[in-house]
Amino acid sequence: MKIPQKIKALFGFAQKSKQLFSGDTAVKNCIKTNKAQLILIAIDFPEKRKGYFIKWCTEKNIAYILWGTKEGYGELLGTAPRCLIAITDKQMAEEIYRIISEESC
């Protein structure tokens, strides 16, 4: 999967401004506290858990996208492989959602 440069830049800004959270526990906390604006779910996330997070996002009215892989997320963030990413800034979340949606078409 080729990650667009704009996405890399936005993720970098989000990380530096502490508006990006990754991993199960951090993302769960963002959802519970209603801080999450966008959840990115890796396509190779286990199906049962993927369904759990999709249902939870739908119930909480949080936008989500099935995009990328665990290894891709880890590489993008400079960490170990991650299955989930939460963006808490509304404008950044909208822009990331728009870019990924256009790329998928």
**Structure confidence by residue, pLDDT tens digits, 4-53:** 889 899 999 999 999 999 999 999 999 999 999 999 999 999 999 999 99
How far apart (Å, rounded) are the C-alpha atoms in residues 7 and 100?
Answer: 8
Q: What is the pTM assigned to this prediction?
A: 0.93
Residue among 7, 64, 60, 51 nearest 32 (CA): 60
Reduced to 3 states (helix: H, G, I; strand: E, B; else coil), residue 83 is coil
- What CATH number was assigned to the domain covering residues 5-104? 3.30.1330.30
pLDDT at 105: 58
Tell me the domain boundaries of the chain.
5-104
Reduced to 3 states (helix: H, G, I; strand: E, B; else coil), residue 39 is strand
Residue 39 vs residues 4, 48, 88: alpha-carbon distances, Å? 18, 17, 9
How far apart (Å, rounded) are the C-alpha atoms in residues 54 and 2?
Answer: 24
Strands 20-22 vs 84-87: parallel, antiparallel or unpaired: antiparallel
Q: Confidence class of residue 82 from pLDDT cuts 50, 70 and 90?
A: very high
